[in-house]
Each structure stands twice: as structure tokens, then as C-alpha cells.
Amino acid sequence: MPGKYKIVMIRHGESEWNQKNLFCGWFDADLSDKGREEALSAGKALKAEGYQFDVAHTSVLKRAQITLNSVLQEIGQTDIPINKTWRLNERHYGLSDAAIMELNLPTGIPFVYELDEDMKPVDSMTFLGDEETVKKAMAAVAAQGKAK
């Protein structure tokens, strides 16, 4: 059964620090050229699926805001309300560095949760993108932080 609501999330595009194999955390790193391309691709994927939004939420970090602005421009929704809050900045919840390195959420690929009327997920998250592209992006994130 399809959900009543959908929430779409996008990890910011690759940052300059990601490119240097560094963990950004709260450092306000800019997007790399690849990250800007990923943000544009995320917008194209959402546009191809016909997504339209009522509101957008982002952290106060420029890598997230640039990603969001690129997406909204691509889907023609630069006029929707945008809530910016530090509460969406990256967080450290006590995971070890090793555990963090196992979280391989790809940069710049939208993922969707469908929610029921009680805002509970009705299924696992799904990525907007072909399986091979998602796997490659996850592998690229997994390779970050490993010795070069």
C-alpha cells in the first residue's frame, strides 16, 4: 500500500573536504565541482519523477544549502518556504569513527520514505536512481576515510 505522505532527503553533494578524504562535521566546507554536479543530478532525478514540494528544510551549512538551491532551481520551485536550522547540521551521537565509516549514504542521490497517516514508514527507503549508480556512489562514500 503506498504511503499517504512522502519525505525526500538528500545528502549534500560531495564537499571539498570529502574530496580530500577528510570528515567535515560542522566545518562549513564548500561543494566540490563533482558535488555541484551531484546536486544538479539530484534535481533532475526529482524532476523526472514529478516531485513537487510544499516546504524544504536544510542545515545552515553551505554545502547543504547549495545542494538544496540547485535542486529547487532544477525542479522550478525556488519560491517555496525554506527552513534553515543548525539542528540539521551533521551530528555525532557517540558512534566510533569506525562505525561512522560504515554509514555509506551516497552524496547527491535523493532517497524517499513513504509514511502512513501516523507518519510511520510503510516501507524501507528507496533511492531515486538506477541501482548501478547508487551502488557506485555508496562505494565511493565507503572509500572516503580509507588511506590512499
Q: Choose the most confident range, by mean pLDDT, from 11-15, 94-98, 122-126.
A: 122-126
18 is in an annotated binding site: yes
37 is in an annotated binding site: no
Please name each of the domains of the chain with its CATH number: 5-145 (3.40.50.1240)
Q: Please compute the mean of the pLDDT values over residues 7-22 and round it to a whole number.
A: 78
Centroid of chain to Cα 30? 15
| SS3 call for 83 | strand
Residue 52 and residue 124: Cα distance in Å, rounded?
21
Give the tens place of pLDDT for each residue, 63-86: 999 999 999 999 999 999 999 999
57 is in an annotated binding site: no
- Does the pLDDT at position 134 exceed 60? yes
pLDDT of residue 25: 66
Mean pLDDT score of the chain = 85
Any idea which residues carry the catalytic annotation?
Answer: 12, 90
Look-up: residue for cell 570529502?
18
What is the value of pTM for the model shown? 0.80
92 is in an annotated binding site: yes
Give the tens place of pLDDT for each residue, 20-34: 665 666 667 889 999
Which triple of cell numbers denotes residue 103?
Answer: 554509514
